[in-house]
Amino acid sequence: MPASTLGFDADRIAGISEDLFEMQESFVAKPRKEGAWSRKQILGHLIDSASVNHHRIIEAQITGSIVFNGYAHEQWVELQEYQEQDWEELVTLWSSLNMHICAVVERIPTEVLDKPQNEHSYEKTAFRELPSDQASTLGYLIEDYFAHLQYHLDQIINK
Give pLDDT tens digits for 99-132. 999 999 999 999 999 999 999 999 999 999 999 9
Domain CATH for 50:
1.20.120.450
Q: Would you say the pTM of this structure is higher than 0.85?
A: yes
Per the model's pLDDT, the better-predicted residue between 3 and 77 turns out to be 77
DSSP string, the chain: --GGGTT--HHHHHHHHHHHHTS-HHHHTSBSSTTSPBHHHHHHHHHHHHHHHHHHHHHHHHH--B------HHHHHHHHTGGGS-HHHHHHHHHHHHHHHHHHHHTS-HHHHT--BS-B-HHHH-SS---TTS-B-HHHHHHHHHHHHHHHHHHHH--
Range of the domain at 84: 3-157
Counted domains in the chain: 1
